[in-house]
Amino acid sequence: MIKFLQPWVVVWVLGALLAVFLLKWLVRWRYAASTIVGRMSAGRYRASLLRRAPFALLALAIAFIAVALMQPVLPHSTAEVTSRGLEIVIVMDLSSSMQEEIGLTDEQRARTSSAPRGATRLQATKDAIKSFVRSRTSDRMGLIVFSDNPYVVSPLTFDHQYLLRYIDLVDDQILQGEGQTAIGDGLALANYLLAKQSSGGRNHQVIVLFTDGEYNRGRDPIDVLQESKEAQIRVHVVGVDLDDFSRARPGVMALKATVEKNGGRYFDAGSEGDLTAASRTIDKIEKSTLTSRVYVEDVPVYQWFIIPALICFAGAMGLRAVPYFVDQT
């Protein structure tokens, strides 16, 4: 829709036109009267309105110029939408207990001594992590695994296909000779990775820890979680198929309480479905931010009126050159 930047100009134009018409009326051309004038005043003797065409074109040209002087513009708005993703480090437990079959009861676990028949905790965790990675298209993500010691498998990257390939490569053979659960060291390495690769933003860093037990090696995870809180890093923990005894352990209970106290979530995932549900819930909690800026620009369209005005002026001048349109009064 057209808007006018200087609408008050129309008042001056109308005033000028009124002055011109008044001046013309006051200084009308004198003419000689005759006895035949009365008869010519009849309708059939009146001059054709067509003779007024030059005047009409001139008036129309002035009207177009008046509109052009009001500076008509078309408001044009453009929106710039930028997406800011999160920086997420996934920390995965590779202790020996992750090779056990997922979803067994305590009695089944006590009777089972052979190789797992169904999916192991590690396999189910990898599937849940891959589903989580695929859903985070605008985030930089990295992967750390730990057992006795933590290791960076992938630094923070936008190349999620690269990250998915490395998740597939994780198995029970890459940390041969290790079998303990250094949860604190894994979290500390995640903090370090985020600090080194940070893009400078606060409140945009997240750690997601998958573990199936209580820490029994390395740093106390409670101390490391305090460091995460001070660095404004949110930590979520997924407990993978913990048995009743492990859930009641002081270390696990303290980990759960501290995570939730610091603003994170703790998930108790006892099956493959629970793991998938936990990853989806974290995906809903940790949303990327969208920033929208709207720029409004006024596009001048005075040429839409100047060009018709010139055409009308040219038409009026051309008609004035024809004797039929010449005003003899």
Of all residues in the chain, the percent with pLDDT exceeding 90 is 32
Going by C-beta distance under 8 Å and a sequence separation of 6 or more, which residues neighbour residue 253? Answer: 247
- Chain centroid to Cα 37, Å, comes to 80
Helix (H) or strand (E) holding 250: helix 250-261
* Residue partners of 107: CB distance under 8 A and separation at least 6: none
Residues 6+ apart with CB under 8 A from 246: 212, 213, 214, 252
Write down the pLDDT at residue 19: 74
Handedness of CA 145, 150, 156, 162 (dihedral sign): negative
Is residue 144 within 8 A of residue 90, CB to CB? The reply is yes
Task: Answer yes or no: is pLDDT of 39 > 90.
Answer: no
Q: Which of 97-111, 139-153, 305-319 has the lowest mean pLDDT?
A: 97-111
Which residues partner with 81 through β-bridges? Answer: 292
Same domain for 309 and 281: no
Instruction: Identify the top-confidence range among 85-94, 96-105, 200-209, 308-317.
Output: 85-94
For residue 129 the two structure tokens come to 């992590």
* Cα–Cα distance for residue pair 269/17, rounded to 1 Å: 84
Q: What CATH number should be reported for the domain holding residue 95?
A: 3.40.50.410
Asked if residue 58 is part of any domain, the answer here is yes
Question: What are 43-75's pLDDT values in tens digits?
Answer: 555 556 677 777 788 788 888 888 888 878 877
Q: In whole angstroms, how large is the CA radius of gyration of the chain?
A: 41
128 is a domain residue: yes
Residue 105 has pLDDT above 70, yes or no: no
| Amino acid, single-letter form, for residue 207 | I
Let me know: does 208 contact 236? Beta carbons within 8 Å: yes
pLDDT bracket for residue 31 (50, 70, 90): low
Give CA–CA dist 89/155, Å, rounded: 8
Residues 62 and 181 in one domain: no
Q: In angstroms, rounded to a whole number, what is the distance separating the alpha carbons of residues 71 and 79?
A: 25
Question: Which residues lie below 8 Å from residue 264, measured CB to CB, with a gap of 6+?
Answer: 234, 235, 236, 237
Cβ–Cβ under 8 Å, residues 265 and 234: no
Q: Which domain holds residue 233?
A: 86-287
Which CA distances in Å does 89 have to 129, 140, 143, 313?
A: 11, 8, 6, 73
Please state the domain count of the chain.
Answer: 2
Q: How does residue 310 score in pLDDT terms, banded at 50, 70 and 90? A: confident
189 and 161 inside one domain: yes
Q: Please report whether residue 232 resides in a domain.
A: yes
- Lowest model confidence (mean pLDDT) among 51-55, 272-276, 309-313: 51-55
Is 309 within a domain?
A: yes
14 plus 133 within the same structural domain: no
Residue 207 pLDDT: 93
Tokens of 108: 């089944």
Residue 55 burial (C-beta neighbours within 10 Å; 0-12, 13-18, 19+): middle
| Strand intervals (E) in 119-272 | 140-146, 150-157, 205-211, 233-240, 266-269
Summarised one tens digit per residue, pLDDT across range 143-193 is 999 999 999 999 999 899 999 999 999 987 888 878 888 999 999 999 999
The token pair at 291 is: 């920033």
Examine residue 180 and state whether it is found in any structural domain, yes or no: yes
Average pLDDT, the chain: 81
Residues 230 and 315 in one domain: no
Buried b (16+ CB within 10 A) or exposed e, 239-251: bbbbbeeeeeeeb
| Rounded average pLDDT over 284-297 | 67
Compute the average pLDDT of residues 309-317: 83
Quick one: which of 288, 301, 291 has its CA closest to 76?
301
Q: What is the pLDDT of residue 128?
A: 92
pLDDT confidence of residue 34 = 54
Residues 121 and 239 grouped into a single domain = yes
Same domain, 64 and 212: no
For residues 16 and 141, state if they share a domain: no
Largest CA distance in the chain: 135
Residues 235-250 have pLDDT tens digits of 999 999 887 788 888 8
Do 172 and 147 share a domain, yes or no? yes
Give the pLDDT of residue 89: 94
In the chain, the amino acid numbered 272 is E
